């Protein structure tokens, strides 16, 4: 069996890639994809530690997080669509004003 540390390291690498992408990309949708990537690396950590302790509760928590992610994506994409209707842009630099 592969040691837990390797899984945690992999999750750290994935999280960092997601964080870098979030800061570098200027398109709202790609930033959102990077957020999803970071969320998934957090899930990987939970599942890896669930095996290290032999505790199923972490896996159940991951299940709840998956449901949460689905709700988050539905709302996030609805907001992006609503903004796009008003501004016809998905570039964050053009969406800096909070005024409708």
Partner 1 sequence: MNMVVFVLLALLAIVGAFGVILWKNAIYSALSLVGTLLSLACIFVTLEAQFLASVQVIVYAGAIMVLFLFVIMLLNAQYPSDEVDPLEWVAPAAIAGGIVLAGAIAYTAFLFKAPKPLEEAAKALQGGTPGPVGETLFTKFLLPFEAVSLLLIVAVVGAVALVKREPEGKQVRETLEERATHTPEEVVA
Q: Under rule CB under 8 A, which residues in 5-24 are in contact with partner 1? A: 5-21, 23-24
**DSSP 8-state assignment for residue 89:** -
Nearest-approach distance from CB 95 to partner 1, in angstroms? 11
Helices (H), the chain: 4-24, 28-53, 57-87
Whichever of 93 and 99 has its CB closer to partner 1, that residue is: 93
Q: For residue 3, state whether it binds partner 1 (rule: CB under 8 A).
A: yes
Binding residues for partner 1 restricted to 19-58, rule: CB under 8 A:
19-21, 23-27, 29-30, 32-34, 36-37, 40, 43-44, 47-48, 50-57
C-alpha to C-alpha distance for 72 and 57, rounded to whole angstroms = 22
* Least distance from partner 1 to the Cβ atom of residue 98, Å: 16
Centre a 10 Å sphere on the Cβ of residue 34 and count the other Cβ atoms it contains: 19
Find out whether 92 and 31 touch, Cβ atoms under 8 Å. Answer: yes
Q: Report in angstroms how near the CB of residue 89 gets to partner 1 at its nearest.
A: 6
Rounded Cα distance between 64 and 31, Å, is 23
């Amino acid at each position: 069996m592969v040691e837990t540390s390797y899984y945690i390291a992999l999750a750290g690498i994935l999280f960092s890639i997601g964080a870098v992408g979030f800061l570098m990309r200027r398109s709202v949708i790609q930033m959102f994809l990077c957020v999803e990537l970071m969320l998934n690396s957090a899930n990987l950590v939970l599942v890896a530690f669930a095996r290290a302790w032999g505790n199923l509760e972490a896996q159940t928590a991951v299940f709840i997080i998956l449901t949460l992610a689905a709700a988050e994506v539905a709302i996030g994409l609805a907001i992006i669509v609503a903004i796009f209707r008003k501004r016809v842009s998905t570039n964050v630099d053009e969406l800096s004003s909070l005024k409708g």
